[in-house]
Structure 1
Amino acid sequence: MTDITSAPNRIDAFAVARVIARVRDWAPRVHCITNTVAQNFTANVLAAIGAVPSMTVHADEVASLVESADGVLINLGTLDPERRAGIEAAVQAARANGKAWVLDPVKVDRVPLRRAFALTLIKQAPAIVRGNSGEMTALFPAIAAATGTAFAVTGARDSLSDGTRTVLVDNGHPMLARMVATGCALSGLIAACRAVESDSLLAAAAATVAWGVAAERAAIGVAGPGSFAVRVIDEIGAMDTPTLERHALISRG
């Protein structure tokens, strides 16, 4: 078990396990504006870990749901006009009510208009930004300049940082790349962890480790991506402290 920082800000297997345990104990409400492809899977993953998801995108309803939520996810996939309006309302409500929110900048490296929108959102202080290497590279100068924002670059090896500390996570499985919405679901888990943990880097690390360990366990003897999707939800639902402490692969960046 590797300490990334000295107590009380250490990030190790024990620390990430405590965050996951708090998610189960506290059942945080997480409001997600996510893409149509990911809604069902993300909701089921959140419910399995013990959080309470809501998924409304309509701008007239979003503010009330964000106000009563403990965490918020903003995902830029399938960014139609209704979702854009809902996102703007959600971020405004989150900031007005002191709610930490997570940004998942889906495909900003391929869609210039989406990248421009993401850059405006980063100026509004997300607690955490999570994306793949292409997405995060497209936004990196803005993310690096954002005060108080942690970021997670996920892939074969996950790299997470808050500008001062860097954590590498080596949990995961190639099967995650063979199905859609796995990154979106991870962002939902990050929002749930941030709802119960004020250290954004620790929250992101806890979700990333738990997701990676669940994927490793789900892939054992699995027939293919379809059954893997079901089993990874089962493994998130069964995730506990001994499993995380035994399997977490965390190191200093």
Structure 2
Amino acid sequence: MTAPLAEEAARLLERLRERGPRVHCLMNTVVRKLVADGLSALGAVPSMTDAPEEVEAFVGKADALCVNLGTLDAARRAGIDRAVARAGEARKPWLLDPAHCDYSPARTAYAAGLLARRPAVLRANAAEFALLAMPEDVVAVRTGETDRIALGAKAVAISNGHPLTARVTGTGCLSGALAAAFLALDAPPFAAAVAAMLALGVAAQEAATTARGPGSFEPALIDALFNLSPEDIRREARIDHDQSGL
């Protein structure tokens, strides 16, 4: 299973570059520029507004939606609720990143409510996952030193990446947005998640070869995403069957 997944990820990267899908991101305000730059570098087209009065129009023009709870307030909740409803009406795939849902009971409850509305993919860290009950039909992506992706009994572990990734704020948010970009290609959600984690992980390895620390790693990562080739994914992918569970 693992070699075909790497090949599918490589082909999805080719399709993404050809199609340039538009991804609407309801994103943590701290990391909007990194996420927008990362999407653009890979070949997608980002949009970022969360204003309740216009978010439905933006989602209507997008190919996929990424919902990140990050800097959450009443206005952003209203925007998120409208965006998710519009994505459902238009049958557009969406991804949920329940950022920091382990910090606040109110945020945990809100994340659980959104998860019940069935995003195609949930991307979270271990602490966030521990608080959420995963529906069997939603692809689970747990990012960390090793990225784990599961759908029912099917699960893989991806060990690409570099420790400097964790020293740059927003790289986890970026991974969710990249997964949404691959979802925009009408790819199976499991394959889209694998492609995103491989793309970011392989790019991070390349960026680390020239970076001297987090400050130089961030622009090097954007360059590496821009220069990433399907052959890079085929050659560098480190995917294994995962029996440890999320």
CA distance in 2, matches of 1:138, 1:37: 24
Looking at structure 2, the residues matched to 192 and 175 of structure 1 have their Cα atoms a distance apart, in angstroms, of 23
2-side partners of 1:101 and 1:51: how far apart?
A: 15
For the 8 Å contact 2:52–2:79, the answer to whether it is kept is: yes
Alignment of 1:33-182 (within 5 A): 33-139=26-132, 142-143=133-134, 146-182=135-171
Q: Secondary structure at the match of 1:232?
A: helix
RMSD: 1.1
Q: In the alignment, is the contact (CA less than 8 A) between 1:102 and 1:126 conserved in 2? A: yes
Q: Which runs of 5+ in 2 are unaligned?
A: none
Q: Please give the alpha-carbon distance, in whole angstroms, between the structure 2 residues aligned to 1:176 and 1:198.
A: 26
Give the % identical residues. Answer: 41
Contact kept, 8 Å, 2:21 with 2:63, in 1: the verdict is yes
Q: Does the aligned pair in 2 maintain the 1:38–1:180 contact within 8 Å?
A: yes
Matched, 1:243 2:232: yes
Structure 1 residues not aligned, in runs of 5+: 5-9
Q: Which portions of structure 1, spanning 4 or more consecutive aligned residues, are displaced by more than 4 angstroms?
A: none
Q: Scaled by the length of structure 2, what TM-score is found?
A: 0.96
Q: What's the TM-score once normalised by structure 1's chain length? A: 0.93
Is the CA contact 2:210–2:220 (under 8 Å) kept in the aligned structure 1? no
Q: Does 1:17 align with 2:17?
A: no
Q: Indicate whether 1:229 and 2:218 are aligned.
A: yes
* Deviations 1:117-152 (CA, angstroms, capped at 9, x unpaired): 00110111100000111111111xx21xx2421010
Cα distance in 1 between the residues matched to 2:5 and 2:223: 24
Distance (whole Å) between structure 2 residues aligned to residue 59 and residue 11 of structure 1: 41
Given that 1:217 and 1:235 are in contact with CA atoms closer than 8 Å, whether structure 2 keeps it comes out as yes
Q: Deviations over 1:63-91 (max 9, x none)?
A: 11111110100000000111111100100
Count of residues in Structure 1 that have an aligned counterpart in Structure 2: 242
